[in-house]
Amino acid sequence: MNCNETKKLMNAYVDGELDSVSSLSVESHVQRCALCLTEVENLRALASAIENGSLRFKAPLRLKKNVQAAIRAANPSARISIFHWRWATVSAAAALLVVVFLAVTTQLAKSSEETLLVNDIVSNHVRSMMANHLTDVPSSDSHTVKPWFGGKLDYSPPTKDLAEQGFRLIGGRLDYLDHRPVAALVYQRNQHFINLFVWPSNNTVVKSEDQLTRQGYNLIHWTSSGMTYWLVSELNSTELNECARLLKE
Ligand SMILES: [Zn+2]
């Protein structure tokens, strides 16, 4: 490294802003070159003079008072001095940062909570078919299924039979989702099974999308009259949508 190259990097070197390789190059040149060493020392002296305030211009108190008086004269209703305004701006910016931070983290927490819930719904659906535990109360009669939930849940899930429309109610089951026991109503469409999970809606679950596909299963979600509904099946989305539409009616 020669003198010209060193001079270009000298300010950054004194301010400690160089990467270690460049910093070492400058340092090794400075150790061999008295001219550059002098410049580095001058720069360091200047930097420390600014740092300790001996070169900093401080407005006299008189000037500050004159400025404040001038502002008051121009606008008598202005009670807050510009010096307070500066702090108000800083506080507002800090408050905004906090709000944005909270909004982002809350949103992240909610969306990861929903991801967990969706995974649980799919797992419960798969397990209900694998473990041969599709229904606790096998019945196509909604008047049998509905009272069966009576002693087991603190709410009464709607139990609609849609046999005439091609979605036969085959029974109900108690399941566990969103940290609580929930009603699972099981429908059959040809050889396909559909789980409808129902529980009273709360604000912990954000409805970010109505329809989604996870691990090859279609899910449809809606809320109605204080209840959360999740429909899940390997059935194609067109037919599952039809089922959701009938249930919502
Ligand atoms: Zn030099």
pLDDT tens readout for residues 126-178: 888 887 788 888 888 888 888 899 889 999 998 898 999 999 999 999 999 98
What average pLDDT does the structure give for the chain? 86
CA of 45 to the centre of ligand 1 (A): 18
Residues flanking ion ligand 1, Cβ below 5 Å: 3, 33, 36
Mean pLDDT of 66-85: 68
* Residue 168: predicted pLDDT: 94
**pTM (2 decimals)?**
0.57
CA of 156 to the centre of ligand 1 (A): 87
- Where residue 24 falls (left for φ over 0; alpha for ψ -120 to 50; beta otherwise) is alpha
Range list of H helices, 1-33: 3-14, 20-32
pLDDT tens readout for residues 217-236: 999 999 888 889 999 999 99
CA of 21 to the centre of ligand 1 (A): 18
Q: Give the rounded percent of residues in the chain with a pLDDT score beyond 70.
A: 90
Mean pLDDT of 99-112: 81
Q: Are 172 and 137 spatial neighbours (Cβ–Cβ below 8 Å)?
A: yes
CA distance 169 to 189: 9
For the CA atoms of the chain, what is the radius of gyration?
36
